[in-house]
Chain A
Amino acid sequence: MIDVNREGEVWVFAEQHGGVLEETPVELMSKARHLADTLKVKLAVVLLGDGVKELCTPLIQYGADKVYLVEHPLLGAFQTNSYAKVILDLIEKHKPQIVLCGATVAGRDLAPRVASAAKAGLTADCTDLQIGNHKIGKSGETHENLLFQIRPAFGGNIIATIINYDRWPQMATVREGVMPMPEPDVNHHGVIVTETVKLAQDDLPIEILQEHKRAKKVDLKAARLIVAGGAGVGSKENFKLIWDLANCLGAAPAATRPAVDLGFIDHDHQVGQTGTTVRPSLYIAVGISGAIQHQAGMAQSQKIVAINSDPDAPIFGIAHYKIVGDLNEVVPSMIRAIKEKGIKD
């Protein structure tokens, strides 16, 4: 645990595997930059690995004022214990006020271990971060410039803003895909601070015997157009309608969790709280009722078209274009209209 330290930096854990930066921590760089500017402190990233120095340049271009670079042969592969030990030492040495990680599998594994050892507060899977003041009810005592850690809770039915005013650093993990990828700025300058650590084989209690990575079947996060189907599509055969509409638009096909659970399409295509969070220019929701868990993953789409036979379906509450009708008729009509480029006779 470190004390409240108003001069402390804002930190982002620059998760990398095999010399490749994870996208989620990079996504949160522009938000972290904004937090640091608001607090008038430096934005630093913490980069651990073996032979990863070349990642410093892109990290600085993404907005880091400082890179704490820790290289060690035993940091070559991510392991909870060794990484937690190094980050904890750095926290105690430099006393940052905010420490952020991507809510990746590694981030969600590492951050709680670090927070527990630091006896610091940690909020998981944030979808937004802000700086604000908190007034304590009875005493009226105000804590200024705290990190507002904003996240959905209770299955996505509420949005909670969590704060941590007495035991720092203020820690949070940030959900994948909720913040836009920043553009690198080649004119941004930063310094590299090389840190040395002592690690022994004992700090790596796990032996990684095998690792298999597979490419995702679809990159929903990068898709500008998405056509998604829900349980209302009815069958795997009928899900062809979703593929057809997606193909003629050059869109990515997606689905709700019920549609995935029913086997209509692979889990890689799932949008929502337990799937991918997307923010395309156009989201066409076909036969999707719009459970809050699904909305949590797509409500930030620029335009939403909803097709459902039930006029009371919750999806209509967030749709820009509402089509109450039979998807088996509406979707083919849409395909025809798109093929004719929507130009009227």
Chain B
Amino acid sequence: MAYHCVVLAKQVPDTQRITGQVMNDDGTVNRSALPAIFNPEDLNALELALQIKDRFGGRVTVVTMGLPGATRILRDSLYRGADDAILVTDRRCAASDTLATSYILSRAVKKLEADIVLCGRQAIDGDTAQVGPQLAEKLDLTQITYVEALEELEDRQITVRRNIGNGWQQVKTSLPVLLTVTGEANAPRVAAAKQLMKQKKARTRLEVAQEIQEINPDAVEAEREELTASRCATLESQDLLIKHWDLDDLEADLTWCGRNGSPTKVHRIQSVVLAAKESKDVEPTEEGITDMIHELIQDKIIA
């Protein structure tokens, strides 16, 4: 029995490698100074989907919502073995919070007839872990969060092990289902040379248009459009056109998208400046250390 797995992935700034230069003087983050990476737990979700395909057959489709630059993680997904990739991008998606994001993604997933929807447990830029469960609700799917391992998949019945913080649970449900996958679930495979050779020309229509413009800076618009259309048609025939959907393609209700669709707003952002109120330098000598211990005892910090 073959299954269609749809993986939701996000391109994120690499928040694990933030240095002082990334923080602006006003305390905001200069996102452009950070490398953009494949959200780590989304790679675990993709790996789980690829393992399901390897064992049971079927297809893996990866969807991302983001700026056109997020196409990079889609190509990366194709190199690792995904069959299809879809970029959801639209200026009207800007400033979407998790609720609006889950609504937009739900419109995309609805077009795909998924048996299993897989998300990373959370993204490292926001660490909210909200989009998975919100997407499940929007799609009226059963959700299983914090998945650590797939244990059984048979006759559209799935059994997984999930982390419950202080232990684990083995749970079973019927497909369709939405899983959020933790970093412990697996070790994501790397790109396969064969896939890389095959897919490195994969492009979105936006990228093709940009490349055409770079190659033919003097061409008139109509000519560029024609060249773009013909190049896209070629890519599509070779199965190398990465789909690009905007909110019109998704027939999304704009009330629920972008800033309008986002109930949460930012009141204030502060940079983290943690400082001790008073501090002492302690000499690394027997005497310095004994004095410090003595003081801590006197202050009743240690008994």
Contacts and interface: CB of A to CB of B under 8 A. Distances in A.
B217 interface: no
A211 B282 contact: no
B170 A210 contact: yes
B216 interface: no
B293 A338 contact: yes
B128 interface: yes
A165 B150 CA distance: 41
A214 B169 CA distance: 12
Contacts of B16: 155, 293
Interface string A196-224: 00000000011111111111100000000
Contacts of A303: 296, 299, 301
Interface in B124-155: 124-134, 136-138, 142-146
B263 A121 contact: yes
A214 B124 contact: no
Nearest to A152: B272
Given A105-B164, A208-B169, A321-B279, A116 B133 contact: yes
B129 A212 contact: no
Q: Classify the interface of chain A: helix, strand, loop or mixed.
A: mixed
A330 B283 CA distance: 10
A330 B266 CA distance: 45
A209 B267 contact: no
Q: How many of chain B's residues touch chain A, expressed as a range?
A: 35 or more
Given A116-B137, A162-B265, A108 B145 contact: yes
Given A210-B169, A322-B280, A158 B28 contact: yes
B117 to A, nearest CB: 14
Contact of B278 (A122, A205, A320): A320
Contact of B267 (A80, A152, A162): A162
B29 A344 contact: no
B130 A112 contact: yes
Q: Classify the interface of chain B: helix, strand, loop or mixed.
A: mixed
B167 A124 contact: no
Interface string A80-117: 11001000000000000000000011101111110111
Given A282-B301, A337-B289, A148 B267 contact: yes
Contact of A158 (B27, B134, B264, B275): B27
Q: Which of A112, A115, A207, A282 has the most CB of B within 10 A?
A: A112
Contact of A342 (B128, B131, B134, B290): B290
Interface stretch (B67-75, B85-93, B96-104, B223-231): B96-104
A249 B23 CA distance: 39
A318 B274 contact: yes
Contacts of B279: 316, 319-322
Contacts of A124: 126-130
A323 B289 contact: yes
Nearest to A339: B293
Nearest to A78: B164
B134 A109 contact: no
Contacts of B18: 154-155, 157, 292
B56 interface: no
A153 to B, nearest CB: 6
B154 to A, nearest CB: 14
Interface string B274-296: 11101111111110111111101
A112 B270 contact: no
A207 B142 contact: no
B98 A326 contact: no
A117 to B, nearest CB: 5
Interface in A46-90: 80-81, 84
A206 B142 contact: yes
A163 B266 CA distance: 6
Nearest to A325: B284
Contacts of A153: 125-127
B166 A213 contact: yes
Given A112-B134, A316-B279, 17 more contacts: A80-B133, A81-B142, A109-B145, A109-B146, A119-B99, A121-B262, A122-B130, A157-B15, A162-B265, A207-B171, A215-B166, A273-B127, A295-B274, A322-B281, A340-B290, A342-B290, A344-B290
10 contacts: A84-B137, A112-B137, A116-B133, A122-B98, A125-B128, A148-B267, A157-B272, A161-B269, A323-B283, A324-B281
| Leading 5 A-B pairs by shortest Cβ distance | A325-B284, A155-B15, A121-B263, A342-B293, A213-B167
Interface of A: 80-81, 84, 104-106, 108-113, 115-117, 119-125, 132, 134, 146, 148-149, 152-167, 205-216, 225, 249-250, 273, 281-282, 292-293, 295-296, 299, 302-305, 316-326, 329-330, 333-334, 336-338, 340-344
